[in-house]
Structure 1
Amino acid sequence: MSSYHIKRYSNVQSDLDVTVTKTEVPEKPKIEYGYNCSLNDYRDVIDNIDSDVWKKVRWYINEYDFLVKDPIINRAFYKYWEIVNEFELFEEYEEKNRDLVLHCAEAPGGFIQGTNIYLQIDRLPEEPPAPPQPNQTTDEDGFVTIHKRSKKRKPKLDYRIFTISLNKDLPQYKTYNLPSYNKNIINKHVCITYGKDDTGDVNNWDNIHHIGHLAERPFYLITADGGFDEGTEFNNKEQLHYALILSEIYTALQLQKHGGHFALKVFDIFTETSIHLLYLLHLAYNEVYIYKPKTSRPTNSEKYVICKNFCLSDELKTVLFSNLGQLSATIGKLKSKYISFRLFKSIPNHFVDDIKHMNTDLLNKQCAFLQRAVELCKNDNFLEQYDNQLAQSIERRKQVFQEWEQTYNLNAYV
């Protein structure tokens, strides 16, 4: 687990100065933001490793890569559960006000499942234990009657979860191999929407506004776990996700309740565009953290931006939304694979220093895991003995899972 707090230095708004650039090549990562070319060097090596071998080794070296335990539906649940507990995201949740939750890019629904479990069980008021009742009685004639103990279920809270993901049933998405919502997470509390145009695409900002109209009030917690397969351009994952991450951030700024929280999945943060997006979140929330969950694979660049206590003023919202709307429209017109953009005239040096420190630390840890993985992939003796190594790893993993489960109190829920 790695968590980095981006210190809040000022509440003063920086001068907005939105510019967009269309290029034939992806934006270059910068050394001043903590980039080191060794990361892409390892990725290039991995491209030449047999995919089956890589998957085995990747799983082997990550002791937090748990097998999904019924009734949990996927690994995303574990990451969400860890984040919610580490950052106490439901600490200020108000049951009496029926605070709303929005999960974006969510199918099959691991985050929804986490919210369902947390709100149905943890937020229930504690009840004093009932006195024990005898399970049998004897009448005056000596006959014994066995009484079946009733299993009293606690009532579920009247909470509400909204969710949006790409509509897998549309012809344009048939080749995407999109997941369906898992039927086990759907209940009366969950509202699935595909937006105004029925695509479920948050890159169409009309779909974001549609969610606001449906909900009729802002959201306490918003999560955005979007991502897509970049094919052979793994080194450009950060740049290819600019538009999606911009749209997910706009979703939070547009729909967030004052004092609410936002969790956003990102990848590398080495380009100027990414730094500007992070700085925007820094201005909009009182607390911003970068978090690499234990349950996130250490060989990849996935991490989460945890934003707490939304504080964007209505005045700044008006100015900001006008500029962001123009930016989104321009990106749509360019229809380019590669774009980059700037949001502010300048970014404070101390903010850049914080990002560089965080990036350097995370990159060094990632490269250490990548180096170990590459070495094992090339180790014929290890691969020949893999089944024996695997058996030992599984036993160790069971212990790690129990410790993780106790740390985040999951064993008390499922």
Structure 2
Amino acid sequence: MNLTKADKNDIHQVFEKKFLYPSEDDTTWPWPTLATSTQENNWNDEAFSRLRDQLNVCKDSLSDKDIKAWHAHTTVTNLAGSVCSTLRSNFKPELCTQAWCKFFEVLWSYHIVPLDDPELFTVHLCEAPGAFITCLNHYLANTAFTGKWRWVGTTLNPYYEGNDLAQMIVDDRLIRNTLPNWFFGDGTGNIMDNNNFQEFLQVIKSKGSVKLVTADGSIDCQNNPSEQESIVAHLHMCEVFTALHVLARGGSFVIKFFTMFEANSICLMYLLVKFFEKVNVFKPATSKQGNSEVYVVCLNYLGLNVCPEQEMLDMLQNIIFSESNLPDCLWDMSSIPVSFIESHFQCCRLFTGWQESVIKNNLRLYPCSVSMKKKLDVMRYHCCNEYLSRYPCHKIPHCNRLVNPYNLFIQNDDFLSLNFQTKHQGTFTQRMDYLSLSWKDQLNHFDLNEYKLPESSTVPLTKMKSSSPRNKSQLQILSGKPFSVIYSSRLCVIKLLDDLNTFLENCDCSAYLAKQSQSHFVHLSNTIKSLFDGSKTQTPLTSLVCCLKDDWILSELQIKELDTFQVDESSQDVPSWPFTMFVNATSSLGCLGKGEIRDKRLLLSKIMFALQNLKPGDNLIILTHTLMTRYSAGLILLTNDCFKKLEFHTSPARLSLLQLLVFSDFTSCHSNTAQHLQDINHWYETPKPNLQSPHDILEVISTENSADDVPFYNMVMGQNVKLLKSFLYSVLSLEKEHFSADG
């Protein structure tokens, strides 16, 4: 099929969406002044408002489109839609995503890195999953660069259980294999936190002169697309301010923006024009043409000292990194020249016009006819060729890759390779309608069958001992910002965790639990007894049971048939013949969803006591909570190293998030492990006057070594899924019964 002149023009236009701001060579613009009054903060311009409203009206026409069907349609109409798959197939780049393809365009279009630099140092903000980094590596290997390249990335930490998934990319295929290059500060990786910002500056300054900073950050705004610009404004401010403080003179800065109608966007663009010789706005061909995404490419950084008022920068820093809300307008808008605002409006009008044109064309073609699909296939083919002619790409040898490809793309469905990202479904209107429903009506959207466990789920999960003792490099204490709710976990299906938090927030689960507490203890007692008669385990445990005195749960359990004795935790008066120790690492029955966090020190103390008092051949039973954090899963892994076998048993009392861990045949506690547990305990008992904010232990086994224990973590994930499904099934059943009874 031959292309018409109009078709060729459409392809050409995809690659030519650019705007260059006037520079100081063309005009002299003064430094702005900070807004000091409410009147200055309430700046509004009718021309920008009309432009914003016009675009929102256009985007509102998509509200009734199913997100999955519409995405499939725009994939067909996207002229550059074949580029990414072609690059993957022909050149095998690492982590080849749309972001990779977009940044490859930026690198070739603006030559933002000095290829003759013997020491190239780059910084990448809000970088997960790391496509800009792998793209830059590929670009350098494809060009004449012969120097040494070093880089540092920072992003919201995909391993930090207190981070909100809606604001975070959790794909860690590159991150876990290059962890020494990543900065996470207090463990969160939040560059909008002032303490993290200050620490980051010190880390970067100690490493050398930064020639390039990229910032590809965003926040999920699909449930509020009309407010995308204001939602991400604070993040953009922090990204820009960080770049200005770490870049060396002459360096380049690339940041992702969206629409730029609001006052603070204008303030930010004016700041960039004052600090850089050239400021470009660029819409890459491989950026979906119907979205608002653009990249601002800033060249030849002039340095912080070009600003005549250091005091103004200090005040700006205090405003941007304060915990209070960002003001609607940073500058006194009367101090920004009309000529700049006119240039900025021209830029906004250009990109808005292009976006509206694409959206209207996509609507016109929806649904796409067979003949039109064939024509678009041909256009995508030619567009892909145009991309490769403009931006030459070649394979790079394995020795030039950042990560061994067999490590980067793990083939098995295990906890390392699962996609933990949540996906939006349905139309925008349907999602908004759902959010406005009462809890009673929302319950109708939950299906009991989703949480029903198969009969095979009663079979305990079993893990054998790790192959060899751990070295000291694996046994590391990582501390950081405490969290009170587990919002994300590498050790659980993320939808179940979302559902758990939703139910705990909306249901009176404690009241349900209180009514069933007695039956819970009966079930738990029967489960414990069954471990000793062989009906629950492959080999029965020794019937002599050692318990700790003054444990709150002992008076509730009914295990009189077993030969039990009790000891004080301080006396260590244990028998010389084989026995099974039972320890309770829970402080109460009612700390639903938060028990794992609340009882983390209790788990440590019980494990330490057990490992100090058991002898070869003894067994251990631990009653504990879920294992969704690196901390608790790490402690159990250390314990597992000391036994020949571990079995996970879910309590049959379904309205519970407790489980029994049965460790069989104690061998020994390696000196490295014993010392590490002592170090963890010492960390908690030692005052920390130098810390500027509260800290807690987040990790006790290095994440870098997690691949070595894939079978164990797979078992933990499987058990967490069973616990959460069982709990959610019970709560959902009770909630439906409750509202049904109320009519």
What TM-score comes out, normalization by structure 1 length?
0.80
Q: Which amino acid aligns with 1:95?
A: D
Pick the aligned partner of 2:197 from 200, 208, 211.
208
User: Is 2:22 the counterpart of 1:7?
Assistant: yes
Higher relative CO (Cα under 8 Å, sequence separation at least 6) belongs to 1
Post-superposition offset of 1:211: 2.7
Partners of 2:45 and 2:215 lie apart in 1 by 24
User: Is 2:380 the counterpart of 1:397?
Assistant: yes
Partners of 2:176 and 2:111 lie apart in 1 by 22
Q: Does structure 1 retain, via aligned residues, the 8 Å contact 2:212–2:251?
A: yes
Q: Deviations over 1:310-369 (max 9, x none)?
A: 113426273343121221255x224xxx85122245211111111111111211111111
Partners of 2:362 and 2:38 lie apart in 1 by 37
In the other structure, the counterpart of 1:45 is 61
Cα RMSD (Å): 2.8
Instruction: Give the SS at the match of 2:335.
Output: coil
Pick the aligned partner of 1:115 from 136, 139, 149.
136
Partners of 1:170 and 1:308 lie apart in 2 by 35
Instruction: Give the SS at the match of 2:330.
Output: strand
Partners of 1:194 and 1:305 lie apart in 2 by 25
Instruction: Give the SS at the match of 1:172.
Output: coil
Pick the aligned partner of 1:235 from 192, 211, 226.
226
In the other structure, the counterpart of 2:353 is 364
Instruction: Classify 1:160/1:235 alpha carbon distance in 2 versus 1 (closer, same or farther; 3 Å).
Output: same
Q: Which amino acid aligns with 1:58?
A: T
Q: Does structure 2 retain, via aligned residues, the 8 Å contact 1:5–1:289?
A: yes
Instruction: Classify 1:29/1:40 alpha carbon distance in 2 versus 1 (closer, same or farther; 3 Å).
Output: farther
Post-superposition offset of 1:170: 1.5
Pick the aligned partner of 1:290 from 278, 281, 286.
281
Q: Does structure 2 retain, via aligned residues, the 8 Å contact 1:289–1:305?
A: yes
The alignment-based identity, stated in percent, is 20
Partners of 1:294 and 1:343 lie apart in 2 by 33
Q: Does structure 2 retain, via aligned residues, the 8 Å contact 1:34–1:357?
A: no
Gaps of 5+ in 2: 1-15, 398-743
Q: Which amino acid aligns with 1:5?
A: L
Higher Cα radius of gyration: 2
In the other structure, the counterpart of 1:246 is 237
Q: Does structure 2 retain, via aligned residues, the 8 Å contact 1:165–1:200?
A: yes
User: Is 2:92 the counterpart of 1:102?
Assistant: no
In the other structure, the counterpart of 1:408 is 391
Instruction: Classify 1:29/1:18 alpha carbon distance in 2 versus 1 (closer, same or farther; 3 Å).
Output: closer
Partners of 1:181 and 1:268 lie apart in 2 by 29
Q: Deviations over 1:202-247 (max 9, x none)?
A: 1113323323322323410000000011132101101111100000
Instruction: Give the SS at the match of 1:343.
Output: coil
User: Is 2:78 the counterpart of 1:56?
Assistant: no
Q: Does structure 2 retain, via aligned residues, the 8 Å contact 1:291–1:303?
A: yes
Partners of 1:363 and 1:294 lie apart in 2 by 16
Q: Does structure 1 retain, via aligned residues, the 8 Å contact 2:32–2:336?
A: no
Partners of 1:45 and 1:407 lie apart in 2 by 35
Pick the aligned partner of 1:281 from 272, 287, 292.
272
Post-superposition offset of 1:12: 5.7
In the other structure, the counterpart of 1:153 is none
Partners of 2:108 and 2:394 lie apart in 1 by 14
Partners of 1:395 and 1:175 lie apart in 2 by 38
User: Is 2:104 the counterpart of 1:87?
Assistant: no
Q: Which amino acid aligns with 2:103?
A: Y
Pick the aligned partner of 1:171 from 143, 161, 165.
161
User: Is 2:37 the counterpart of 1:16?
Assistant: no
Instruction: Give the SS at the match of 2:23.
Output: coil
Partners of 2:52 and 2:164 lie apart in 1 by 38
What TM-score comes out, normalization by structure 2 length?
0.46
Partners of 1:252 and 1:111 lie apart in 2 by 16
Post-superposition offset of 1:32: 4.5
Partners of 1:224 and 1:210 lie apart in 2 by 18
Q: Does structure 1 retain, via aligned residues, the 8 Å contact 2:175–2:182?
A: no
Partners of 1:174 and 1:12 lie apart in 2 by 41
Partners of 1:59 and 1:365 lie apart in 2 by 17
In the other structure, the counterpart of 2:217 is 226
Partners of 1:85 and 1:257 lie apart in 2 by 21
Instruction: Give the SS at the match of 2:288.
Output: coil
In the other structure, the counterpart of 1:35 is 51
Q: Which amino acid aligns with 2:232?
A: H
User: Is 2:329 the counterpart of 1:341?
Assistant: yes
Partners of 1:172 and 1:57 lie apart in 2 by 36
Partners of 1:83 and 1:105 lie apart in 2 by 17
Partners of 1:262 and 1:34 lie apart in 2 by 30
In the other structure, the counterpart of 1:144 is none
The 5 Å alignment of 1:312-351 reads 312-314=303-305, 316=307, 318-330=310-322, 332-334=323-325, 339-344=327-332, 345-351=334-340
Question: Which one is further off, 40-49 or 5-14?
Answer: 5-14
Number of equivalent positions: 366
Gaps of 5+ in 1: 126-156
Post-superposition offset of 1:256: 0.7
Instruction: Classify 1:318/1:122 alpha carbon distance in 2 versus 1 (closer, same or farther; 3 Å).
Output: same
Q: Does structure 2 retain, via aligned residues, the 8 Å contact 1:105–1:226?
A: yes
Q: Which amino acid aligns with 1:86?
A: S
In the other structure, the counterpart of 1:302 is 293
Post-superposition offset of 1:56: 1.9
Partners of 1:306 and 1:373 lie apart in 2 by 28
Q: Deviations over 1:368-404 (max 9, x none)?
A: 1111112233x4xx3xx45x65455345423321221
Question: Which one is further off, 173-182 or 73-82?
Answer: 173-182
Q: Deviations over 1:46-75 (max 9, x none)?
A: 011122221122112211123433223211
Question: Which one is further off, 42-51 or 237-246?
Answer: 42-51
Q: Does structure 1 retain, via aligned residues, the 8 Å contact 2:121–2:151?
A: yes
